[in-house]
Structure 1
């Protein structure tokens, strides 16, 4: 019998820039389990190469590319005990 694929949802639009980790963090949910996702600053700069790399520019880059980033997050999410994923 085939195993059902993991399903992740992103009902919470919140995201924060974590300067110490050089990433933007956001959260997904697999049923009641919260999963942390981090998108490296480098990825966001590559998505918007003509923008600055300060906090507000990185958050704007995340917002502008949100659907693309969420699609990548859905692809990397495998379910199971892991509760943090990095998109780099």
Structure 2
């Protein structure tokens, strides 16, 4: 029974976002940010179109997109947590 409990623990992904860093990738039109599952770093990219869906008045320049991300950070992190599945994949696109 204890072994089953440990297996269940491993199946539950514990994704955290202790690093507030983010950057804009102009070539991909997205904001990159990082989450951690234990010691694994997971890269997330949220495209600027998604940010515009959440906040329609977002401009198209880097400063505006990063500002929108900062304003919507908690919402974007919730979306990232729902999308994440523990496993070998270490890059996710939120679009």
CA RMSD of aligned residues (A): 1.1
1:23 aligned to which of 8, 11, 30:
30
| Residues 26-45 of structure 1 aligned to structure 2 (within 5 Å) | 26-45=33-52
TM-score, structure 1 length as denominator?
0.94
Distance 1:51 1:21 in 2: 17
Consecutive unaligned residues of structure 2, counting only runs of 5 or more, are: none
Q: Where do 5+ consecutive residues of structure 1 fail to align? A: none
Q: Which has the larger radius of gyration?
A: 2
- Hey, which of these two has a bigger chunk of helix by percent? 2
Normalized against structure 2, the TM-score is what?
Answer: 0.87
- 1:52 CA drift (Å): 1.1
SS in 2 for 1:38: strand
